[in-house]
Amino acid sequence: MSVQALTTVEPLKQQGLAAFRAGDFPVAEEAFDRALQAYGQARDEAGQAEMLVNLGVVHIQTRQYKQSEKELTRAGGIFQRLGRRSEEAQVLGNLGTLYERSGKAAQAADHYQRAALIFADLGETANQQATLGALTRLQVGQHHWLQSLFIYEQTLASGGKLTLKQRVFRWLFKIVSRLMRW
């Protein structure tokens, strides 16, 4: 991307992010859309994908789920083609959120699991834990108690230093798991 194009796009991105944080979604949408067009003119696919993700997240917030799904799916395809697995996993997580909010729990769980696997492959522990945390909350919300416990245990296993409560939970969980196999 040329320096001139970058100087055009960066203020639009910052304007969109500031508006998003302030909850001004129409302004965020307009800024991200203009940035998307600028990235398109510069033939910067990664930049286009980034703006598609931003637009997808705005549309999740405004409950425009079909539009969000189109944008996020397109962004995910671009990131996959470019070999940018971390961004691909982030898109899968965003699609999980989209499906969760639109009442499609099975699709949400699938996308969260796929994202967590990619994050694990990349060694991105914090992102993996956040994604597994979202999956755990989804399972609890669906009253899938046993599944949510297994996912929570997986979340704890993927992380670093555990609190005393987390260590006790893991120890008790292992005991209960072994008893259930008998």
Per-domain residue ranges of the chain: 1-83, 86-182
More confident residue, 76 or 173: 76
Q: Does domain 1-83 have CATH number 1.10.3720.10?
A: no
Q: Is the pLDDT of residue 181 over 60?
A: yes
Position 71 confidence tier, pLDDT thresholds 50, 70, 90: very high
Average pLDDT, the chain: 86
Structure confidence by residue, pLDDT tens digits, 120-173: 999 998 898 889 888 888 887 766 655 655 666 666 566 666 567 666 666 666
- 3 state DSSP class of 34: helix
How many Å apart are CA 39 and CA 52, to the nearest integer? Answer: 11
Structure confidence by residue, pLDDT tens digits, 85-123: 999 999 999 999 999 999 999 999 999 999 999 999 999
Residue 131 identity (one-letter amino acid): T
Q: Are domains 1-83 and 86-182 of this chain identical in fold?
A: yes
CATH of span 86-182: 1.25.40.10
What interhelical angle do 45-61 and 85-101 show, nearest 10? 20
Q: Is the pLDDT of residue 41 over 90?
A: yes
